[in-house]
Amino acid sequence: MSQGAGGSSSLLLLAGLLSALGPSPTSSIHVYTQREVHGTVGSHVTLSCSFWSSEWISEDISITWHFQAEGSRDSTSIFHYAKGQPYIDDVGSFKERMEWVGNPHRKDGSIVIHNLDYTDNGTFTCDVKNPPDIVGKSSQVTLYVFEKVPTRYGVVLGSIIGGALLLVAVVVALVYLIRYCWLRRQAALQRRLSAMEKGKLQRSAKDASKRSRQAPVLYAMLDHSRGTKAVSEKKAKGAPGDSRKDKK
């Protein structure tokens, strides 16, 4: 898997910006590489190298790549560019797996390593000289070869933060939903209680109206019963006189 495309573009852009700023007071050359590159066994990677020089690109420009294997103290030259020609060193394990993809006139000294293996783990150093501008530091990039490229820490951290934010959003949404349902239920219960209270008041008013209409009827019935009783009593009192008259 190639990890150098985006890094190479960024390095070239940085070199172009520095070039546009004009000559450096110290007339030193600046070399830039990525800090580290990841690759998988059998794949390929681009080792990007860009530079800024206070001088015009001369025909004598030289670009050299060195390799220091992981755990080793020795550094070996694996590639050299000079007099307009790239040279891949015959020694080492990179001679049939390396490809020159740079362009010095574009301030690019990148190489590609194909068919990666675990033995490719180590540090690669890019050094550029553009006479008379030869003062400056080289730049190093570390290559890590894996069976599978591990997920980077930033991706893992971003996933964790994203998941936490999503969980918080879900909890907040649930709280608002529960509150909304509770308020809606309370409003419905309040309307129901109001309706029940209103119904009771209406029934009470109807009962009072019925009682007010029934009172005169009751009074009339009572008066009628009292009148009938008085007539009966009068008749009962007059009955003995009539019987005496009949005897005479």
Q: Is 221 helix (H, G, I), strand (E, B) or coil?
A: helix
| pLDDT value of residue 5 | 46
pTM of the model: 0.53
103-151 confidence digits (pLDDT tens)? 999 999 999 999 999 999 999 999 999 998 888 899 999 999 998 756 6
| pLDDT value of residue 237 | 64
| pLDDT value of residue 107 | 95
pLDDT < 50 regions, the chain: 1-5, 12, 18-26, 243, 245-248
Sign of the torsion angle spanned by Cα atoms 30, 34, 35, 37: negative
Distance CA 23, CA 13 (A): 17
DSSP label at residue 57: P
Query: Beta strands 62-69 and 85-88: pairing type?
Result: unpaired
Instruction: Count CB neighbours of 146 within 10 A.
Output: 15
> CA angle 70-88-77, nearest 5°?
40
3-state percent breakdown (helix, strand, coil) of the chain, nearest 5: 45, 25, 30
| pLDDT value of residue 26 | 46
CA dihedral 146, 147, 148, 149 (to 10 degrees): 10
Q: Residue 197 to residues 21, 103, 133, 211: CA-CA distances in angstroms?
A: 85, 91, 98, 21
- Concatenated DSSP letters for 131-189? TTB--S--EEEEEEEESSPPPPHHHHHHHHHHHHHHHHHHHHHHHHHHHHHHHHHHHHH
| pLDDT value of residue 248 | 44
| pLDDT value of residue 67 | 96
| pLDDT value of residue 194 | 84
